[in-house]
Amino acid sequence: MPQRTVRFTIRPDGRVEERVEGVAGDGCQQLTERLEAALGSVERREATAEAFLSNEPQSQTLPAQLT
């Protein structure tokens, strides 16, 4: 299992930025749901490239003439 990391940056004005690494798909929202509820309202979400990756292995079947 890949390493999962949650990084927090606390700005001087009190805003908290959160970055999740090592979690594919919508798993990052599930991972941070309770933390975000404890911190307060979420102003904005930005998806990283990992958010668009699938958690499930992908397979493809080739036509017989290509194998």
pLDDT, one tens digit for every residue, the chain (67 residues): 678 888 889 999 988 888 888 887 778 788 888 888 888 888 888 877 777 776 655 566 677 765 4
Q: Looking at residue 60, what is its pLDDT?
A: 61
Q: How far is CA 24 from the centre of its chain?
A: 5
Rounded Cα–Cα distance for residues 28 and 32 (Å): 6
Output the pLDDT for position 12.
Answer: 95
- Long-range Cβ contacts of 4-9 (<8 Å, 24+ apart): 4/31, 6/31, 6/32, 6/35
Give the integer Cα–Cα distance in Å for 30 and 33: 5
Model pLDDT, residue 13: 92
